[in-house]
Amino acid sequence: GAGVSQSPSNKVTEKGKDVELRCDPISGHTALYWYRQSLGQGLEFLIYFQGNSAPDKSGLPSDRFSAERTGGSVSTLTIQRTQQEDSAVYLCASLTPNTEAFFGQGTRLTVV
Amino acid sequence: TQLLEQSPQFLSIQEGENLTVYCNSSSVFSSLQWYRQEPGEGPVLLVTVVTGGEVKKLKRLTFQFGDARKDSSLHITAAQPGDTGLYLCAGPNTGGFKTIFGAGTRLFVKA
């Protein structure tokens, strides 16, 4: 596709359940980021993939959060045993070599 | 740690007014980008500034990169309700492998 695609666009889950969020980046972009955005707030860095290098996981808030990127393309963010404080919009971005970021529309996660 | 500080955090103005928002750092950046995020959408890239002192214009928006490449400003002339959104500045860290975002300026333009 022409842009970054995220799915699902909305997810409502019960507390304690696991969720998987998917990001399809722009073809050819080697860098991919996940951010979290709470209502009315800025972007909270979660994790960063760059080519075949080990990902920068320094922003993951707890060990319930993990992410992988298969084949240097599609990425999945997994949240285990979801908590209400995990409710937020999760944004994915892929970057050009000039570090210009193209964002998906996000997944709005609601934990009830 | 490189940080980008944006000010003001929140700005509410009347349609037709002019405004300037700022993005400051104590570190030098090789480039800075400005993004706008509208409600329910992901941020969208507006412009990239690369050269110290550079000025770029995008219709009613004027972007400036400081001479020392440590700061940038965004000036909007005759703001319109369609300018409402979260304005984010961002830049690559020293190694150039990680993009750092400011916390943003939330702009609301009243009709």
- B45-58 pLDDT, tens digit per residue, is 999 999 999 999 99
Partner-chain contact B31 A91, CB within 8 Å: no
Residue A30: both structure tokens together: 């080697």
Say how far apart CA B32 and CA B47 lie, in whole Å.
8
DSSP B98: S
State the average pLDDT over residues A21-50: 92
Say whether pLDDT at A3 is over 90: yes
Tell me how close the Cα of B104 comes to any Cα of chain A, in angstroms: 6
Residue B76: both structure tokens together: 């909007």
Q: Is B45 on the interface with A (CB under 8 A)?
A: yes
State the average pLDDT over residues B41-68: 96
State the average pLDDT over residues A24-53: 91
Q: Is A48 on the interface with B (CB under 8 A)?
A: yes
Say whether pLDDT at A2 is over 90: no
Say how far apart CA A101 and CA B32 lie, in whole Å.
12
CA A86, distance to chain mean position in Å, is 13
**Which residues of chain B are within 8 Å of residue A48 when distances are taken between CB atoms?**
98
Q: Given pLDDT bands bounded at 50, 70 and 90, which one contains residue B93?
A: confident
**Which residues of chain B are within 8 Å of residue A33 when distances are taken between CB atoms?**
99
Say whether pLDDT at A81 is over 90: yes
